[in-house]
Copies of this chain bind each other. A is one copy, B any other.
Amino acid sequence: MANLKDIGVSAAINLLSAFAFLVVFAILRIQPVNDRVYFPKWYRKGVRSSPTHSGTFANKFVNLDLRTYLRFLNWMPDALKMPESELVDHAGLDSVAYLRIYLLGLKIFVPLAILAFVVLVPINWTGKTLEHATNVSFSDIDKLSISNIPAGSKRLYAHTIMSYVFTLWAFYVLRNEYKMIADMRLRFLASQNRRPDQFTVLVRNIPPDPDESVSEHVQHFFCVNHPDHYLTHQVVYNANKLAQLVENKKSLRNWLTYYKNTYERTSKKPTTKTGFWGLWGTRVDAIDYYTAEINKLTEEENAEREKVISDANSIIPAAFVSFKSRWGAAVCAQTQQSRNPTIWLTNWAPEPRDIFWDNLSIPYVELTIRRLLMAVSLFALIFFFMIPIAFVQSLANIEGIQKVLPFLKPLIDFGFVKSFIQGFLPGIALKIFLILLPLILMTMSKIEGFTSLSSLEKRSAGKYYLFILFNVFLGSIVTGTALQQLNTFLNEPPTEIPKTFGVSIPMKATFFITYTMVDGWAGIAAEIIRLVPLVIFHLKNTFLVKTDQDRDEAMDPGYLRFGTNEPRIQFYILLGLVYAPVTPILLPFIIVFFAFSYVVFRHQVINVYDQIYESGAAFWPDVHRRIIINLIISQLLLMGLLSTRKADKSTPLLILLPVITIWFHVYCKGRFEPAFVTFPLQEAMVKDTLERATEPNLNLRTYLQDAYVHPVFKGIQEQNPPAVEEEEDSSPLVATKRRNWNASKNESDASSKAGSGTGQ
What is A's interface to B at a CB cutoff of 8 Å?
172, 175, 179, 186, 224-226, 228, 330-331, 334-339, 341-342, 344, 364-365, 368-369, 371-372, 376, 489-496, 659-660, 663, 666-667, 670-675, 678-683, 685, 756, 759-760
Contact = CB atoms under 8 A, between A and B. Distances in A.
Given A336-B334, A364-B671, A675-B341, A663 B372 contact: yes
B491 A493 contact: yes
Contact of A368 (B172, B667, B759): B667
Contact of A490 (B338, B364, B495, B756): B495
Contacts of A685: 224-225
Contact of A342 (B186, B491, B666, B670): B670
B671 A342 contact: yes
Count copies of this chain in the complex.
Answer: 2
Nearest to A759: B671
Contacts of A494: 489-490, 493-494
Contacts of A673: 341
A680 B330 contact: no
Which residue of A172, A673, A681 has the most chain B CB atoms within 10 A of its CB atom?
A: A681
27 contacts: A175-B759, A179-B756, A186-B339, A224-B685, A225-B682, A334-B335, A334-B336, A335-B678, A335-B681, A336-B678, A336-B679, A337-B681, A338-B680, A338-B682, A339-B680, A341-B673, A341-B674, A341-B675, A341-B678, A365-B667, A368-B663, A372-B666, A490-B493, A491-B493, A491-B496, A493-B493, A494-B494
Given A331-B331, A341-B672, A372-B666, 20 more contacts: A175-B759, A179-B756, A224-B685, A225-B681, A225-B682, A225-B685, A336-B674, A336-B678, A336-B680, A337-B681, A338-B682, A341-B671, A341-B673, A342-B670, A364-B671, A372-B660, A490-B494, A491-B495, A493-B494, A667-B759
Contacts of A336: 334, 674, 678-681
A684 to B, nearest CB: 9
Nearest to A335: B334
Contacts of A756: 179, 671
A372 B681 CA distance: 30
Nearest to A760: B175
- Main secondary structure, interface of A, reads helix
A330 B335 CA distance: 8
A492 to B, nearest CB: 5
A112 to B, nearest CB: 19
A759 B670 CA distance: 12
A30 B678 CA distance: 60
Contacts of A496: 491, 493
A364 B673 CA distance: 14
A365 to B, nearest CB: 7
A186 B336 CA distance: 13
A455 B365 CA distance: 30
Contacts of A680: 336-339, 341
A364 B671 CA distance: 8
A680 to B, nearest CB: 5
Contacts of A671: 341-342, 364, 756, 759
Contacts of A667: 365, 368, 759
A613 B369 CA distance: 38
A666 B493 contact: no
A292 B739 CA distance: 75
A336 B673 CA distance: 12
A490 B636 CA distance: 14
Contacts of A493: 489-494, 496
A229 to B, nearest CB: 10
Contacts of A663: 368-369, 372
Given A372-B663, A490-B495, A682 B335 contact: no
A740 to B, nearest CB: 16
Contacts of A225: 681-682, 685
Given A334-B334, A490-B494, A760-B175, A339 B683 contact: yes
Contacts of A682: 224-225, 337-339, 344
Contacts of A365: 667
A335 B335 contact: yes
A281 B496 CA distance: 65
A518 B338 CA distance: 47
Nearest to A182: B339
A297 B179 CA distance: 50
A643 to B, nearest CB: 11
A236 to B, nearest CB: 22
Contacts of A331: 331, 335
Contacts of A344: 682
Nearest to A666: B368
Nearest to A175: B760
A111 B130 CA distance: 68
Contacts of A368: 663, 666-667, 670
A140 B414 CA distance: 76
A269 to B, nearest CB: 61
A203 B226 CA distance: 23
A667 B371 CA distance: 10
Those 8 A-B pairs whose CB atoms lie nearest each other, nearest first: A341-B674, A372-B663, A334-B335, A336-B678, A368-B667, A490-B495, A491-B493, A339-B680
Nearest to A179: B756
A186 B339 CA distance: 8
Contacts of A759: 175, 667, 671
A741 to B, nearest CB: 10
A172 B757 CA distance: 12
Nearest to A332: B681
A71 B369 CA distance: 56
A183 to B, nearest CB: 9
Contacts of A341: 670-675, 678, 680
Nearest to A494: B490
Nearest to A659: B376
Contacts of A490: 493-495
Contacts of A228: 228
B495 A364 contact: no
A489 B493 CA distance: 7
Contacts of A175: 759-760
A186 B749 CA distance: 13
Contacts of A186: 339
A451 to B, nearest CB: 16
